[in-house]
Amino acid sequence: MTSASQTADPKSARDHARAMAGMRAAAMPTLPASAARDLPPGVAGGDMLWEETIAAGGYASRQLSRGSRLRLVDLEGDACVSLLVFNAERPVERLNIADTLKVQWTGYLGEGRLLLSDMGRVLASLVEDTSEGHDGFCGASNQASNARKYGDGFNHGAHPNARDRFTLGVAKFGLGRRDIHPCLNLFKPVRVAQGGEAMVEIGPHPPGRHVTLRAEMDLIVVLANCPHVLDPRPEYGSTSVRASAWRGPVTPPDDPIRNATPEGQRAFLNVDDYYAR
Amino acid sequence: MPTPPPLSGAIVHDEVVAARAPWIHRVNQGQTLRIVDLEGNQAVDFLMYAAEDDAERYSAQDTIAAQRNIFLREGSTLLSNEGRPMMRVSATAVAYHDTIGGACSCESNTLRYGHHTKSQHACVDNFLVANATQGRGKRDMVSNVNWFMNVPVEADGALGIVDGISAPGLYVDLEALMDVTVVVSNCPQINNPCNGFNPTPVRMIVAG
């Protein structure tokens, strides 16, 4: 070795660390969010709350205020975003997939549908959806299921699983294994055949598909971007996803999604009732 | 009434659970829990937790993904949230059972039927009461099995709890593949056909 170490003493190590400033990676957040590079149509930079590109196999968790919008873009067509949603103020209230499907009399979520909590309230509305569908049935991959397919499923390895990613995402908000509830998988449609068979349309799908959620309560959202648990491909099929959030008004009483069904109307009434204080 | 096949091993517990009541019981590895739908089409809402670590619990989604089917049938294995086998449907006289419909709650009843149902009995309350005896709470609620309940998904995605396919005396046998704590709500719902609009008792037999 002829080159001298750049990190032999604290001041050199500091300079070495500081020299990294300004580096860019494919997956990273934009700070401040007002400098967002991918502004949603009609949104001013000053209204942006969050922009982050989440890597294949990556995760993120974030608090969002009531009324804000969250857009998730499947940048390259092979993202599978597993989603947990909590009431930020009282996280013991969380997304209930069974109620979400049963109350809306459907197994397939899409634009205009609601994500319902276990307390009979709307956590979020799906205000925009250009994908072919989603999956409320199959849930998150785990270490064992990834190990069977890819050789290992460790969080620290090359094939992280969605459940471990959730564990990390919820931990950042003080939540634990007991809080990882049944999830919704975005961008990988699962349909049910007449014999009950669950069939995934794994893709890859066209790039640029997106969903936009409107927060109907103050939320914690946890995103894990790992291959779908039923992905049949031997390689770890996952591509990056961009999360963008911005400020928006609380849903008004005459909102068409709010008034689309009697069940939904009552779920919004329950939200109003919760915020009566 | 059909006669179920004999259970192997000695019967160590035999109890009739009243209409609308909760039930909690440990079933050890190798034992079989038989649930008998005494009067027909009585939804039995069912959760279970690993006895050694109750943060590991039944996972409807892991179970569906592993068998690639939403219905539980004879031979189905119930998996945990860690992907481990907890129980196996070793026998059943009903063609299939539900694991996507979840449990009724006072709160979801207000959406499904109106706020006049808020004070009615509901499965989530039964689960909470039973789980509270062992220190578990609302965080421990997850999607449950509904034995003897019929929830089809039609080609266009239409999903709902419809008239049942069970009958008086039909049963399901569950062989424990690990030591588990079973928590049941004998569904008190009176607003849909999950129990024929008429909650009735069920019988729980543990053998082995």
pLDDT value of residue A56: 97
Q: Which residues of B touch A148 (CB under 8 A)?
A: none
CB A196 within 8 A of CB B159: no
From B108, which residue of chain A is nearest by alpha-carbon distance?
A: A120
Q: How far is B33 from chain A (nearest CA, A)?
A: 25
* Nearest residue, CB atoms, B159 vs list A101, A145, A194: A101
By 3-state DSSP, what share of chain A in percent is helix, strand and coil, each rounded to 5? 20, 25, 55
Provide the token pair at A183: 């999830």
CA of residue A262 relative to chain centroid, distance: 28
Helix, strand, or coil (residue B108): helix
Q: Is B114 on the interface with A (CB under 8 A)?
A: yes
Q: How many CB atoms lie within 10 A of CB A46?
A: 10
Whether the ω angle into residue A256 lies within 30 degrees of 0, i.e. cis, is no
CB B112 within 8 A of CB B168: no
CA distance linking residue A77 with residue B45, whole number of Å? 39
Q: How many helices (H) and strands (E) does chain A have?
A: 5, 12
CA distance linking residue A111 with residue A121, whole number of Å? 18
Residue in B94, B113, B72, B107 with CA at minimum distance from that of residue B165:
B94
Could you identify the residue written with the tokens 């207000």? B110
Does B100 sit within 8 Å of A106, measured CB to CB? Answer: no
Q: Is the pLDDT of residue A141 over 90?
A: yes
Residue in A191, A246, A201 with CA at minimum distance from that of residue A80:
A201
Q: Is the pLDDT of residue A2 over 80?
A: no
pLDDT value of residue A3: 74
Residues of chain A with pLDDT > 70, as a percent, come to 99
- Sequence-ordered alpha helix ranges (H) in B21-105: 60-67
Q: How far is A92 from chain B (nearest CA, A)?
A: 6
- pLDDT, tens digit (0-9, with 9 covering 90-100), for B127-183: 999 999 999 999 999 999 999 999 999 999 999 999 999 999 999 999 999 999 999
Q: A interface mutation test: which of B59, B96, B108, B146 has the most A CBs within 10 A?
A: B108
Q: B interface mutation test: which of A80, A96, A104, A220 has the most B CBs within 10 A?
A: A96
Does B68 sit within 8 Å of A182, measured CB to CB? Answer: no
Query: Would you place residue B3 in the very low, low, confident or very high pLDDT band (cuts 50, 70, 90)?
Result: confident
- Residue ranges per domain, chain B? 11-207
Q: Is A232 on the interface with B (CB under 8 A)?
A: no
Average pLDDT over residues A18-37: 97
CA distance linking residue A135 with residue A227, whole number of Å? 13
Helix, strand, or coil (residue A214): strand
Q: Which residues of A touch B83 (CB under 8 A)?
A: 142-145
CB A154 within 8 A of CB A85: no
CA dist A160 → A152, A163, A193, A272 (Å)? 8, 9, 30, 39
CA distance linking residue B137 with residue B148, whole number of Å? 26
Average pLDDT over residues A192-200: 97
Q: How many CB atoms lie within 10 A of CB B31?
A: 20
Residue in A117, A59, A77 with CA at minimum distance from that of residue A274:
A117
This prediction has a pTM of: 0.97
Q: Which residues of A touch B157 (CB under 8 A)?
A: 106-108, 191
What residues pair up with B23 in beta bridges, in sequence order? B184
